[in-house]
Amino acid sequence: MRFSVPKNAGPSTVDAPTVEKETRSKEDVDLPWQVVVHNDPVNLMSYVTMVFQRVFGYPREKAERHMLEVHNNGRSILWSGVRERGELYVQQLHGYLLLATLEKAG
């Protein structure tokens, strides 16, 4: 099989890739972010307690208190701080199949 190059084909040029810089507003940086766990009908209370202990290092009593808040009120704020750390916590909670979100405090 032969490949031919068209006669009018000059040297090929490739545009340099554009790098998009992620910009965050001052509000994104300054405001604390909250990791919120929402109630779901699937996970057992003992399982949720164990996940809170593993992910956040909470003692059993604190993990149970948050688990009961999720169960009784539909949600609980488990952690507050910088956005990047909150994103990591939410990903870890999703890995345990818990319903978690990251919200701006305030």
Question: For the segment 14-35, what is each residue's pLDDT rounded down to a tens digit?
Answer: 666 665 655 556 555 568 999 9
The residue extents of the domains of the chain are: 29-104
Q: Does 3.30.70.260 match the CATH number of domain 29-104?
A: no
pTM over 0.75: no
List the beta bridge partners of residue 51: none
Q: What is the pLDDT along the chain (106 residues), one digit of tens a residue?
A: 565 555 665 555 666 666 565 555 655 556 899 999 999 999 999 999 999 999 999 999 999 999 999 999 999 999 999 999 999 999 999 999 999 999 999 8
Coil, strand, or helix at residue 76? strand
Q: Which of 90, 72, 74 is nearest to 34 (CA)?
A: 90
Q: At what angle do helices 45-56 and 83-95 cross, to 10 degrees?
A: 140
